[in-house]
Amino acid sequence: MSSVRALNQLMLLASEVGDLIELRFDCVESTELGQCLKESRRLMDSLDHPVIITFRPAEQGGKRALAHETRLQFWLFDKPNGAAFCDIEFDLVTGLASSTFAKGCLDWQTVICSHHDFVGVPVDLEQIYERMAGTPARILKVAVHADDVTDCIPVFKLLERARREGREMIAIAMGAAGIATRILGPSRGSFLTYGALETDGATAPGQLTAKELRELYRVDRITEQTLITGIVGLPVGHSVSPHVHNAAFAAAGVNGVYIPFEVRDAKSFFGRIVHPQTREIDWNLRGLSITAPHKATVMDDLDWVEPAAQEIGAVNTVVVVGDALHGYNTDATSVLKPVIERFGSLRDSRCAIIGAGGAASAALWSLRREGACVTVFARNFQKTNSLAEKFGARYENLEAARFDAFDLVINATPLGTCGQRENETPAISDQLRGARFAYDLVYNPTETRFLREARDAGCETLGGLPMLVQQAAEQFKLWTGADAPIEVMRVAAERALQ
């Protein structure tokens, strides 16, 4: 909120999706603060939801600079009565705790003592917790910044300690790599988790919306017995897989959740968080989807890999089996099904694959099994020539390639994926003219530049969404042993992409 005008509407909207409402008075313009305080008192009396009041300075994540004296004035004299909780920064809590004057102004049973670190995870996090625990505040809150998923480990451990010691605690890792703490925190003892009203209204890095937390991840239904799955990659923010798999779990009545894991160091992630014999947190992890750039590198961290995935040299699915990790490639068994449904038999067809990564390997392996004649196009000669030779295919350089002699052209590169490279394509219409069918494995966006160029060239086209749903259905069966509700998954993917 930034004004009195916005206050009424935002509080009503928040009451529809949240259990508690946080009022961030540091987001209010100084000229509007007095009127907003007055209006908030009236609104708090009319709402059934408990309210958290926050007045955070910029150096601790607030929206504007606040002098120490201004903060003291707010908490001792200005704060609206009727708030269920007051979120006060640790540095201010220590001063207020020693003030005899504050005793009559603050009810410590309503105070959340908070500490924020927007740089990383402090090495003395446990000591910070102990000092905070020495204050009279009822609830402790720690929010740190995660550069990798492994930075979530000390956050989860802090929640475990607080629960053992009978302390009410909020612990969050901020940033895209910390999303798991926001989704799983309440099931591990966190007093609450935060959700924004809108995506562009987040008050901290990596904050999901309240609607996503409740409807997509079903955060209020997660327990310590919930089966945990997720997608591992860098980046993963564009992925619709959480929509696909969480919809499938809900439709099938499976107590499961699917979480995005933004991972830089896959070896550390698998060693410290995934593998049952070495992981440092206790959770009911059942399996993972693996995407770029980790499909090949994770193979060294698995105990068993199916023969097809070994031959392809890439894994896109991991299943936890007892104390071991098993690897599969559901891309390979799914990539051609949508094409064959439209194209018919691929035997002796002339097929071009653009790319030399894990997706290209899966497509090449599948095409060779179908009896197609395949040529691989890419810019990296050494990598591409090795891939082509491995499967008895031809190799040509992509720079001046023409595809008029091919029945099927597959884009197996990430070019065109939603984000920084969305406007890129591995081939333009002049190169594609004369080809019969163009197939883009990129599914987000549904309309890629590659597909537009192919249509301009007169090609039939197919996007990557049907393949995404098909391979996800196979993952679902590997993780649960049950057939996937594939139509539910398809609809969920389409809605997410809209």
CATH level 3 topology of 227-328+488-497: Rossmann fold (3.40.50)
Instruction: Specify the range with the lowest mean pLDDT, choosing from 121-125, 228-232, 340-344.
Output: 340-344
pLDDT greater than 80 at residue 42: no
Per-residue pLDDT, averaged over 370-393, amounts to 88
Residues annotated catalytic, as ranges: 295
Looking at domain 333-463, its CATH superfamily turns out to be NAD(P)-binding Rossmann-like Domain (3.40.50.720)
pLDDT digits (tens, 9 = 90+) for 170-207: 999 999 999 999 999 999 999 999 998 887 767 778 88
pLDDT greater than 60 at residue 410: yes
Q: Where in the chain is the domain with CATH 3.40.50.10860?
A: 227-328+488-497
Per-residue pLDDT, averaged over 16-38, amounts to 84
Q: What is the CA radius of gyration of the chain?
A: 26
**Bridge partners of 115?**
142
- How far apart, in whole angstroms, are the C-alpha atoms of residue 490 and residue 216? 15
Domain 4-217 of CATH type 3.30.2010.10: no
Q: Where in the chain is the domain with CATH 3.40.50.720?
A: 333-463
- pTM for this entry: 0.91
Q: Where in the chain is the domain with CATH 3.20.20.70?
A: 4-217
pLDDT at position 3 is: 56
- How far apart, in whole angstroms, are the C-alpha atoms of residue 294 and residue 299? 9
- Torsions phi, psi for 128 (to 5 deg): -60, -45
Token pair, residue 23, equals 């009022």
Provide the sign of the torsion angle of the four alpha carbons 68, 69, 74, 75, taken in this order: positive
Per-residue pLDDT, averaged over 7-16, amounts to 73
Instruction: Specify the range with the lowest mean pLDDT, choosing from 199-208, 347-356, 487-496.
Output: 199-208
